[in-house]
Amino acid sequence: MKHDPWVRSYRTPAADLVTFQVVIEESDLWIATTAELAEMAAQEIRRQRGHLQAWAELHPELYPALTPLPIPDHAPTIVRRMYQAAAAVGVGPMAAVAGAIAQAVAEALHQESPEVLVENGGDTYLISQKERIVGLLDDPDAGLFLGLRLGPKDFPCAVCASSARIGHSLSFGAADLAVVRARDGALADAAATALANHLKGGKAALQRALDVAQTWAAHGVEGVLVRCSDLFGAWGAMELVPLDPRA
């Protein structure tokens, strides 16, 4: 484990919680809990990464897959979550990895902390007893202008994002931002990738993407937000609030 001196600019401390960053290989997590639980978080990240790496050694098709793979009958929980999420929205299982890890870490830390916020490269999993606002970022240089309000009854909740402009994830669309809300972290992550892939530009493409997203409600998707150039759309349980970027 290491505490990286570089902190992503959009990460800001939670006033009522202890916040810390944990970096394990490619996994870079910002975490907020009621007590400093960095070592526990690091152990859980290593455990989940170990499950994935061991599975991939036996199933080399996992990493390069861009479409769903058959859901295994017997596999570690994180693997099954990723495969199930991929099958629901039509992407490869690795599209769900960040959200799946965020959820696994949050669930482990929840044993010691009633409040847990985990952000893993723009994919967030939250367990809370109070209102929280998740910032939605489509331009790192401009700061946060828009947030998603979540109340106590909304948790646990995953809010995951994908973009053709931000980050290193593979995207086949032109989305400035695609955000998905769901109870399951793997599903929210995979659906955000799939939604971004559907956004090719233009009003018709944006409407088609929203129409597709609504069909995912049967799998547990609760709401989505999309932005592509000057076009903006949302569907579902998305209570949006303005944010002051200077705050």
Kindly report the CATH number assigned to the domain that includes residue 219: 3.10.520.10
- Rg over CA atoms, the chain: 17
Instruction: Give the model confidence (pLDDT) of 207-219 as tens digits.
Output: 888 999 999 999 9
Tell me: pLDDT of 76 over 70. yes
Domain membership of residue 71 (yes or no) is yes
Least confident of 45-54, 78-87, 228-237: 228-237
Domain membership of residue 204 (yes or no) is yes
Instruction: Give the model confidence (pLDDT) of 112-159 as tens digits.
Output: 999 999 999 889 999 999 999 998 865 545 555 789 999 999 999 999
User: What type of residue sits at position 35?
Assistant: A
Q: What whole-number percentage of the chain has pLDDT above 70?
A: 85
> pLDDT band for position 232 (50/70/90)?
confident
Q: Which residue has the higher pLDDT, 19 or 11?
A: 19
- CA dihedral (213, 217, 222, 223) in degrees, to 10, reads 20
Domain membership of residue 6 (yes or no) is no
Domain count, the chain: 1
Domain membership of residue 224 (yes or no) is yes
Domain membership of residue 1 (yes or no) is no
Domain membership of residue 232 (yes or no) is yes
> pLDDT band for position 45 (50/70/90)?
very high
Mean pLDDT confidence for 39-43: 98
Please tell me the predicted confidence (pLDDT) of residue 199. Answer: 81
Instruction: Give the model confidence (pLDDT) of 153-205 as tens digits.
Output: 999 999 999 885 554 454 444 558 889 999 999 999 999 999 988 887 678 88
Domain membership of residue 12 (yes or no) is no
Domain membership of residue 247 (yes or no) is no
Q: Which residues are within 8 A (CB) of 88 and not within 5 positions of it... i.e. 6 or more apart? A: 187, 190, 191, 216, 219, 220
Domain of 205?
18-242
Please tell me the predicted confidence (pLDDT) of residue 173. Answer: 47
